[in-house]
């Protein structure tokens, strides 16, 4: 690794990275707010510093040499890291970024946002919808809610929020005057709605293919059930509010334990951060099933 005092000048690296993306000195100069000659001069100085040709100058523009193409990848990555570090430093201390699955977002978090803002008026919550757990090492996410199986990695802290207790529900309009709970024969006679965690075969203890519309997200399947399209099996924690309001009814006494479960997760850290800690505790108090 070169000593830092021998690294290429930052302005030369910026000129090269921009010209490498644009493959045109004039366009790169417009992006950087300098003259075309200044960009060309910085790139030549960088090539002299490295002892390598980074571009082929063509009549129609620029072309990266193999060495220039490889160097551009690394320089662009370095600028991305610098940009992310600057963004984190400039981020207000009261901003908290939480990554949640789309179903957690629509079924648990969004309906309670007003309550969170009332309880924590100084916190600016930024929500990212993602099915996968984030890489906390990158520092872009403070908290996450997603699927996880024990054991919990030693570098993170996790609290169980929503166990996968699967229940069968439908809209009262779909059930009509049928007496509840329904037996398996009556259940199979209903239109069924399926989603990514297709638990209907396990719930009904059958290996037969079950017809019905299929949705990529659990939250979409629950919305379909609310619209009367069919019955759905989903985590009790995601439909508890609709059961309480009467928008959905349980149509079977049976429940099914499935996994993995939904956990609230954050990186273990000795440094206290009041806003993120406050949101962490609020989620435990307000989103935990039961």
pLDDT at res. 271: 63
CB-CB contact of 10 with 46 (8 Å) = no
Band of residue 58 on the pLDDT scale cut at 50, 70, 90: confident
Q: Residue 46 has which token pair?
A: 């960088």
pTM, 2 dp:
0.67
Eight-state DSSP code of residue 2? -
Report whether pLDDT(88) > 80: no
**Mean pLDDT, all residues of the chain:** 90
CATH T-level assignment (fold) for domain 95-162+261-287: D-Maltodextrin-Binding Protein; domain 2 (3.40.190)
Residue with tokens 């990158």: 138
Strand order in the sheet with 261-267: 124-129, 95-100, 143-148, 261-267, 156-162
CATH number for the region 4-90 comes to: 1.10.10.10
pLDDT at res. 289: 77
CATH T-level assignment (fold) for domain 165-257: D-Maltodextrin-Binding Protein; domain 2 (3.40.190)
Which residues is 262 bridged to in the sheet?
147, 162
CB-CB contact of 251 with 181 (8 Å) = yes
Cβ within 8 Å of residue 51, ≥6 positions away = none
Question: Residue ranges per domain, the chain?
Answer: 4-90, 95-162+261-287, 165-257
Summarised one tens digit per residue, pLDDT across range 36-52 is 999 999 999 999 999 99
Q: Do domains 4-90 and 95-162+261-287 have the same CATH topology?
A: no
Residue with tokens 């930052």: 10
Task: Give CA–CA dist 100/65, Å, rounded.
Answer: 43
């Amino acid at each position: 690794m070169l000593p830092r005092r021998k690294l290429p000048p930052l302005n030369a690296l910026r000129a090269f990275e921009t010209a490498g993306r644009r493959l045109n000195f004039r366009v790169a100069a417009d992006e950087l707010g300098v003259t075309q000659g200044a960009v060309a001069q910085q790139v030549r100085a960088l090539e002299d510093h490295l002892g390598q040709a980074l571009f082929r100058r063509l009549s129609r523009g620029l072309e990266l040499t193999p060495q220039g193409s490889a160097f551009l990848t690394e320089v662009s990555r370095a600028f991305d890291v610098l940009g992310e570090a600057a963004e984190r430093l400039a981020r207000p201390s009261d901003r908290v970024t939480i990554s949640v699955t789309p179903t957690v977002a629509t079924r648990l978090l969004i309906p309670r946002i007003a309550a969170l803002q009332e309880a924590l008026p100084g916190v600016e919550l930024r929500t990212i919808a993602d099915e996968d757990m984030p890489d906390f090492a990158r520092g872009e996410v403070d908290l996450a809610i997603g699927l996880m199986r024990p054991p919990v990695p030693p570098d993170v802290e996790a609290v169980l929020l929503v166990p996968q207790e699967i229940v069968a529900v439908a809209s009262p309009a779909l059930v009509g005057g049928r007496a509840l709970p329904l037996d398996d024969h009556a259940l199979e006679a209903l239109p069924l709605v399926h989603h990514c965690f297709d638990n209907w075969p396990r719930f009904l203890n059958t290996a037969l293919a079950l017809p019905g519309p299929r949705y990529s997200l659990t939250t979409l399947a629950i919305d379909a059930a609310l619209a009367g399209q069919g019955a759905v099996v989903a985590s009790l924690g995601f439909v508890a509010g609709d059961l309480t309001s009467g928008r959905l009814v349980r149509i079977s006494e049976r429940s099914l334990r499935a996994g993995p479960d939904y956990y609230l997760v954050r990186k273990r850290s000795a440094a206290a951060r009041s806003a993120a800690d406050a949101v962490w505790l609020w989620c435990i108090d307000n989103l935990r099933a039961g």
